């Protein structure tokens, strides 16, 4: 970096260390020399490991790969840094990465130590630029925000109030000084949500500052496409589910984007979420040969992930952009709802919804015209397309009266959930939903967010099986 570029960095890593030509060699040195904000939260340490719930002696060759996440406040009442590093390993040899909030530029700066050198990997805006999007650290920080894939209860793979990571008595993680500070990931969820919202707020303020959005596609792709993923599970440990154990509620995000449609847009849905007979879940583990595998070590263990039925769901960072765009008046709630209701039964990886990105303006657009211009282009195209096309379905919803669309959309969701509640009570129907979840997991595995083999189960579903989609009648079909 040039001296000018270095001087422009205003986050705590830069001001405490790099402006003074100081480069902490280990996480211990970094934490020791960082000041602690007198008004901010105390340092918080979290532990994650995809093999954390596998008995320590199950496979001596198993790559357990435990990591610490550390939240630290330096400058005020909010967390300024998220630090990630290996746990129980040589602190000078393991990775060390930092996301640091710059209160002047209002971005996260991303740093990594490639021993013995510290590297600035870019900032939040770098994630959105065409040349750097999806590259380097932005293969996971795809929208410039911090990331926690297992963001909600039961925080799979994390030490939390739901589960304790299993360590041998002589595991070197226990001797790591940071291990004594580990607390539950339920606290980290709140921190990550706040940090995501902080960047979204700063980003939207900047891109609308002049009254014109220079790149409408950068905003609306988080409405129409799946840019990132959260991984959700039930709150039930898979090994405790028995054939006579009553019902198993699947993750809400499997059925639809409940956060955006029900919580944020407040559609008046009354139907309950479907519940599966536990017997069908237990049978599916054998029928589909569920197992956890790590090819490098040869490890294989029959059964599902520690918490039952892991499935991709809409990412918090996408939903946060949608929520704040509506709150700030960038797009009306009706526009966001019409977009999400196109193929709403497939809250992630929807080709139908993604197809509507073709109608987003490719040139700078006035903030007040963003939704109307996009909607007009979709409606114009719909006139020449079949009624079943995504364009025609959006156009039909857009034509609803302003006072009617919430009830109409809620009625469709109620009908869908009622149909799913019936189908899931049959073994054939439940097995279809197992296949659909596996299809979505395979979509996720093609993303760079998929870093660890033990995050998801494998099954006997053929590798070349077609990808699937949910219909509004709650049946499952090949995805076109």
Q: pLDDT category, 62, cuts 50, 70, 90?
A: confident
pLDDT on residue 61 = 80
pLDDT on residue 324 = 98
Q: pLDDT category, 41, cuts 50, 70, 90?
A: confident
Q: What tens digit of pLDDT does each residue of 393-447 get? A: 999 999 999 999 999 999 999 999 999 999 999 999 999 999 999 999 999 999 9
Point out which residues pair with 277 in neighbouring strands: 247
pLDDT on residue 1 = 86
Q: What tens digit of pLDDT does each residue of 145-165 get? A: 999 999 999 999 999 999 999
Least confident range from 48-57, 204-213, 310-319: namely 48-57
Q: pLDDT category, 101, cuts 50, 70, 90?
A: very high
pLDDT on residue 149 = 96
pLDDT on residue 296 = 85
- Residue that wins the pLDDT comparison between 64 and 361: 361
Q: What tens digit of pLDDT does each residue of 104-130 get? A: 999 999 999 998 899 999 999 999 999
Task: Look at residue 57 and tell me whether its pLDDT is greater than 90.
Answer: no
Task: Look at residue 131 and tell me whether its pLDDT is greater than 80.
Answer: yes
Measuring CA to CA, how many Å separate 329 from each of 98, 371, 378? 33, 10, 20
CB 275 within 8 A of CB 425: no
Could you state, in order of their start, the residue ranges of all structural domains in the chain?
A: 3-184, 208-478
When the pLDDT of each residue in the chain is averaged and rounded to a whole number, the result is: 96
């Amino acid at each position: 970096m040039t001296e000018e570029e270095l001087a422009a960095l205003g986050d705590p890593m830069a001001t405490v260390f790099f402006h003074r030509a100081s480069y902490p060699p280990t996480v211990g040195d970094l934490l020791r020399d960082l000041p602690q904000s007198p008004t901010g939260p105390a340092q918080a340490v979290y532990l994650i490991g995809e093999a954390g719930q596998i008995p320590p002696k199950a496979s001596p060759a198993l790559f357990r790969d435990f990591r610490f996440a550390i939240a630290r406040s330096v400058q005020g009442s909010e967390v300024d840094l998220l630090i990630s590093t290996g746990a129980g390993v040589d602190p000078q040899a393991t990775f060390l990465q930092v996301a640091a909030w710059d209160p002047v530029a209002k971005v996260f700066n991303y740093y990594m130590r490639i021993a013995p050198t510290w590297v600035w990997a870019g900032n939040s805006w770098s994630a959105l630029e065409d040349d750097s999007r999806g590259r380097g650290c932005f293969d996971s920080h795809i929208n410039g925000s911090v990331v926690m894939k297992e963001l909600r209860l039961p925080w799979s793979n994390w030490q939390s109030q739901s589960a304790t990571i299993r360590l041998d008595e002589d595991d070197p993680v226990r001797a790591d000084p940071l291990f004594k500070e580990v607390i539950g990931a339920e606290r980290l969820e709140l921190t990550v949500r706040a940090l995501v919202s902080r960047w979204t707020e700063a980003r939207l303020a900047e891109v609308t500052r002049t009254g014109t959005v220079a790149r409408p596609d950068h905003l609306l792709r988080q409405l129409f496409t799946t840019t990132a993923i959260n991984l959700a599970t039930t709150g039930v440990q898979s090994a405790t589910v028995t054939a006579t154990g009553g019902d198993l509620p699947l993750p809400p995000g499997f059925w639809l984007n409940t956060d955006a449609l029900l919580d944020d847009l407040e559609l008046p849905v009354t139907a309950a979420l479907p519940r599966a007979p536990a017997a069908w879940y237990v049978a599916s583990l054998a029928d589909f040969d569920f197992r956890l595998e790590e090819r490098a070590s040869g490890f294989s263990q029959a059964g599902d992930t520690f918490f039952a039925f892991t499935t991709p769901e809409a990412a918090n960072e996408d939903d946060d952009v949608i929520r704040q765009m509506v709150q700030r008046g960038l797009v009306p709630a009706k526009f966001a709802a019409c977009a999400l209701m196109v193929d709403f039964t497939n809250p992630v990886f929807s080709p139908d919804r993604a197809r509507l990105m073709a109608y987003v303006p490719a040139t700078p657009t006035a903030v007040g015209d963003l939704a109307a211009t996009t909607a007009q282009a979709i409606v114009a195209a719909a006139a020449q397309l079949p009624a079943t096309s995504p364009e025609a379905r959006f156009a039909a919803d857009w034509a609803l009266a302003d006072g009617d669309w919430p009830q109409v959309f809620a009625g469709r969701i109620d009908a869908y959930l009622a149909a799913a509640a019936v189908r899931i009570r049959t073994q054939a129907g439940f097995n279809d939903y197992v296949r659909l979840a596996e299809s979505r997991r395979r979509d996720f595995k093609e993303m760079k967010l998929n870093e660890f083999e033990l995050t998801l189960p494998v099954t006997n579903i053929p590798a070349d099986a077609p990808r699937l989609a949910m219909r509004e009648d709650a049946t499952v079909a090949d995805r076109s």
